């Protein structure tokens, strides 16, 4: 079964809501074999922060097996909240690079 990862990082105040960085992270993780979700697929552009957070948190709770954080997430109040909720629910929280490296190592081990 493939793990579902929800990508988390800064959105508010970023050009185009940081869509390019989220899509790049989603592409990298999907290429590794993960099923990926990003907030831009769930939240309408211009949505108010509290509503956007409710939507993303519900998606994380209902759909994700883990959270994939990308650079700058520590400076994002929303990403910090998402990480807190995920950790509180015993979901793994790792960087995008850590998730990708984990999958590459598993593939190498399986090829032996």
Q: Which residue has the tokens 């990082």?
A: 9
Separation between Cα atoms, residue 39 and residue 11, nearest integer Å: 9
- Tokens encoding 59: 């998606």
Q: Which residue has the tokens 């909720």?
A: 85
Specify the pLDDT at position 72.
86
pLDDT in tens, the chain (112 residues): 789 999 999 999 999 999 999 999 999 999 999 999 999 999 998 999 999 999 999 999 999 999 999 888 999 999 999 999 999 999 999 999 999 999 888 877 776 5
Specify the pLDDT at position 30.
97
């Amino acid at each position: 079964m493939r793990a579902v990862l929800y990508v988390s990082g800064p959105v508010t105040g970023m050009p185009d809501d940081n869509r390019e960085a989220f899509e790049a992270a989603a592409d990298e993780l999907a290429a590794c074999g993960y099923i990926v979700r990003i907030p831009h697929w769930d939240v309408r552009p211009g949505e108010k922060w509290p509503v956007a957070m409710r939507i993303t948190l519900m998606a994380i709770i209902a759909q994700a097996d883990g959270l994939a954080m990308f650079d700058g997430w520590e400076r994002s109040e929303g990403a910090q909240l998402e990480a807190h909720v995920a950790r509180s629910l015993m979901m793994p929280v790792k960087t995008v690079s850590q998730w990708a490296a984990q999958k590459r190592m598993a593939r190498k081990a399986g090829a032996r």
